[in-house]
């Protein structure tokens, strides 16, 4: 039996990263450009009135950490108290933003407290987001508003329960201090409540941590940092092997291919896939203006900043993460040694993505047979224009497709009935594309029967990959509105339902419904801005 969980403040802390890597020689906390370091030690700036709003009981239980109740513990999660063994720091990193090299970025509002030795799962990095300014804050305040913190907290956990690699979130603390933001970028800044999320991951290293070193011609440090990544996080790769850097890039390419396939499966749009928001461990990282597809639209992006170019639109994500991997390959070229070898790693992405995407798509419609044969791929491709024609809810559609009969003798009426609720544009269905939908469903049934699909195993497979509950922006927005008024029950309820996204849950159907009309254009529901 596992030992009783310990209080967060009773964890043993170490600061291996800070001890091993070259840090900033300056200790004053002011905005600056740095060189020849991987991080700057900096303490969180205390806040006035920390209050715990939410605690991820699931993550706590996995790690062996008891729910925080003592004010002294909550003050650690707010950045007001530093424990022995912690040496808080902000990472130095750069990144390509919207396709252009942005040079130094760094943790402008995230501060790693240290590596906590969790009773159940070993060392994890605990990082406070919104903990105050660092040398990388540029002109910003280092803080985060409640609205963006609720979104990060809930979505990190939701992503994990969907089975998609992600950084986690342990706690959400209100700071008691106002934070001023111009939410609509329209020159009307307003004060909002501030908050801090305690994020948890094995490491928060990003592509950009490596890119900045090559961009600034610091090859020695590039090797030191990459060796640290290898040793600590990729122990399966021989750290003395000649091809270790190539193998490392292969593995990151593989993980990234799985990651983006997971997003495409559940209809997640990250929204800001800059290289500084790409994890060196293949995790989803930095939840900002993300969104979940509601009416299927391959061109949709939730990010207002990206409205013109739609660089980070849903359907473009596989290409974009490939582009980002190419930037990482360039950054590591001095270590990998040959362009040919780096290209092989990029090929690993293409190959892995091709394979896992195709089997993922097949599983969404209840098939185990590869889409590469019998024209299946082409047939599945015909589904997407149909989804678009009727403005079909991506989540509800695939969940309901499991209810559609594959029996040859099914009446048209009965065939389509389970899907009707998924259509935002019922008119379009009735007037325009009903016949095309029925033809597609008949063909789907025929192909399913031909490959010997059993109704029961089909439903089981589909319900294990097509979630019923996803963290829709309008649900987030409702919970945030209540939380801003001091009512946190909406956050708790969402947290509970999102823990089992593939399971029908009694009394929770209102959290699995289509986006209501009011949310179509409401701020925070359809479009969001960066860095709030
Ligand atoms: P993001 O768009 O959240 O990925 O952030 C891009 C960069 O801006 C990172 O270097 C962040 O640390 C920095 N940043 C975003 N918001 C703030 C803030 N409120 N204060 C300081 N730095 C910030
Ligand atoms: Mg970021």
Binding site membership of 142 for ligand 1 (Cβ less than 6 Å): yes
Calculate how far, in angstroms, residue 531's C-alpha sits from the geometric centre of ligand 1: 6
- Protein residue with least CA distance to atom 11, ligand 1: 108
CA atoms lying within 13 Å on the CB side of residue 259: 27
Q: In this predicted model, what pLDDT tens digit does every residue of 247-284 receive, in sequence order?
A: 999 999 999 999 999 999 999 999 999 999 999 999 99
Ion ligand 2: residues, CB within 5 A, are 277, 286
Q: Is 31 in the pocket of ligand 1 (CB under 6 A)?
A: no
> What integer pLDDT is reported at residue 159 of this predicted model?
98
User: How far away, in angstroms, is 109 Cα from ligand 1 center?
Assistant: 6
DSSP category for residue 27: -
What is the spatial distance between Cα 523 and Cα 529, in angstroms, rounded to a whole number? 10
Choose one of 109, 133, 134, 532 to mutate for the ligand 1 pocket test, by most ligand atoms within 8 angstroms of C-beta: 109
Measured CA to CA, the distance from residue 189 to residue 463 in angstroms comes to: 44
- Give yes or no for a contact between 112 and 204, defined as CB atoms under 8 angstroms apart: yes
Which residue minimizes the CA distance to atom 13 of ligand 1? 108
In the prediction, which pLDDT does 531 show? Answer: 62
Nearest ligand atom owner, CA of 288: 1
> Residues 94, 215: contact at Cβ < 8 Å?
yes
pLDDT at 2: 64
Site to substitute for ligand 1 among 34, 45, 108, 155, most atoms within 8 A of C-beta = 108
Kindly identify the ligand whose nearest atom is closest to the C-alpha of 136.
Answer: 1
pLDDT at position 245 is 98
The model scores a pTM over 0.85: yes
pLDDT at 131: 98
276 is catalytic: yes
Q: Identify whether the C-beta of residue 55 lies closer than 8 Å to the C-beta of residue 491.
A: no
pLDDT of residue 465: 98
> What pLDDT is recorded for position 103?
98
For residue 371, how far is its CA from the centre of ligand 1 (angstroms)?
Answer: 41
Token pair 């009011």 is found at 518
Give the C-alpha separation, 138 to 129, whole Å: 16
> Can you give the pLDDT of all 532 residues of the chain as single tens digits?
567 999 999 999 999 999 999 999 999 999 999 999 999 999 999 999 999 999 999 999 999 999 999 999 999 999 999 999 999 999 999 999 999 999 999 999 999 999 999 999 999 999 999 999 999 999 999 999 999 999 999 999 999 999 999 999 999 999 999 999 988 778 889 999 999 999 999 999 999 999 999 999 999 999 999 999 999 999 999 999 999 999 999 999 999 999 999 999 999 999 999 999 999 999 999 999 999 999 999 999 999 899 889 999 999 999 999 999 999 999 999 999 999 999 999 999 999 999 999 999 999 999 998 899 999 999 999 999 999 999 999 999 999 999 999 999 999 999 999 999 999 999 999 998 999 999 999 999 999 999 999 999 999 999 999 999 999 999 999 999 999 999 999 999 999 999 999 999 999 999 999 999 999 888 888 778 776 7
Please count the helices (runs of H) and the strands (runs of E) in the chain: 18, 13
* C-alpha of residue 107 to centroid of ligand 2, in Å: 8
Q: Record the tokens describing residue 308, joined without a space.
A: 């013109």
Q: Tell me if residue 304 falls in helix, strand or coil.
A: helix
Q: Which two tokens stand for residue 317?
A: 């994500």
Per-residue pLDDT tens over the stretch 404-433: 999 999 999 999 999 999 999 999 999 989
Q: Where are the alpha helices (DSSP H) in 68-218?
A: 71-77, 146-161, 207-215
């Amino acid at each position: 039996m596992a030992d009783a969980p310990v209080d967060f403040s009773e964890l043993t802390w170490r600061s291996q990263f800070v001890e091993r890597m070259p840090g900033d020689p300056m200790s004053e906390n002011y905005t600056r450009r740095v060189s020849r370091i991987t991080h700057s030690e900096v303490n969180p700036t205390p806040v006035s009135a920390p209050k715990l709003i939410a605690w991820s009981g699931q993550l706590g239980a996995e790690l062996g950490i008891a729910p925080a109740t003592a004010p002294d513990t909550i003050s650690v999660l707010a950045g007001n108290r530093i424990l022995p063994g912690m040496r808080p720091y902000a990472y130095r990193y750069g990144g390509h933003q919207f396709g252009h090299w942005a040079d130094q970025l760094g943790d402008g509002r995230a501060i790693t407290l240290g590596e906590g030795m969790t009773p159940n799962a070993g060392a994890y990095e605990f990082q406070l987001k919104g903990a105050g300014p660092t040398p990388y804050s540029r002109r910003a305040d280092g803080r985060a508003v409640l609205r963006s913190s609720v979104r990060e907290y809930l979505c990190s956990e939701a992503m994990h329960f969907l089975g998609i690699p992600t950084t986690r979130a342990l706690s959400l603390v209100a700071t008691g201090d106002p934070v001023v933001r111009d939410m609509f970028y329209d020159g009307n800044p307003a004060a909002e409540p501030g908050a801090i999320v305690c994020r948890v991951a094995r490491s928060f290293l990003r592509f950009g941590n490596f890119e900045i070193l090559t961009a600034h011609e610091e090859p020695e440090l590039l090797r030191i940092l990459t060796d640290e990544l290898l040793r600590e996080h990729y122990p399966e790769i021989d750290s003395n092997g000649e091809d270790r850097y190539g193998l490392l890039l292969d593995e990151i390419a593989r993980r990234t291919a799985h990651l983006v396939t997971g997003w495409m499966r559940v209809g997640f749009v990250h929204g800001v896939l800059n290289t500084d928001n790409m994890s060196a461990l293949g995790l989803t990282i930095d939840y900002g203006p993300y969104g979940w597809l509601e009416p299927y639209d391959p061109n949709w992006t939730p990010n207002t900043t990206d409205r013109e170019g739609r660089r980070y639109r849903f359907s473009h994500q596989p290409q974009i993460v490939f582009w980002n991997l190419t930037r990482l390959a360039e950054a590591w070229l001095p270590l990998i040694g040959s362009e040919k070898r780096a290209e092989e790693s990029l090929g690993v992405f293409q190959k892995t993505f091709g394979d896992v995407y195709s089997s993922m798509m097949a599983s969404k419609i209840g098939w185990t047979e590869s889409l590469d044969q019998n024209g299946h791929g082409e047939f599945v491709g015909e589904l997407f224009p149909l989804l678009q024609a009727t403005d079909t809810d991506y989540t509800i559609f695939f969940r309901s497709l499991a209810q559609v009969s594959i029996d040859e003798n099914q009446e048209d009426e009965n065939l389509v009935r389970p899907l009707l609720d998924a259509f935002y544009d019922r008119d379009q269905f009735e007037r325009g594309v009903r016949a095309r939908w029925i033809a597609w469903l008949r063909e789907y049934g025929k192909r399913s029967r031909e490959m010997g699909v059993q109704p029961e195993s089909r439903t089981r497979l589909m319900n294990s990959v097509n979630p019923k509950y996803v963290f829709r922006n309008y649900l987030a927005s409702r919970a945030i509105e209540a939380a801003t008024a001091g009512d946190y029950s909406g956050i708790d309820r969402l947290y509970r339902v999102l823990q089992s996204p593939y399971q029908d849950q009694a009394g929770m159907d209102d959290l699995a419904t289509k986006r209501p009309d009011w949310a179509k254009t409401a701020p925070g529901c359809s479009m969001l801005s960066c860095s709030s």
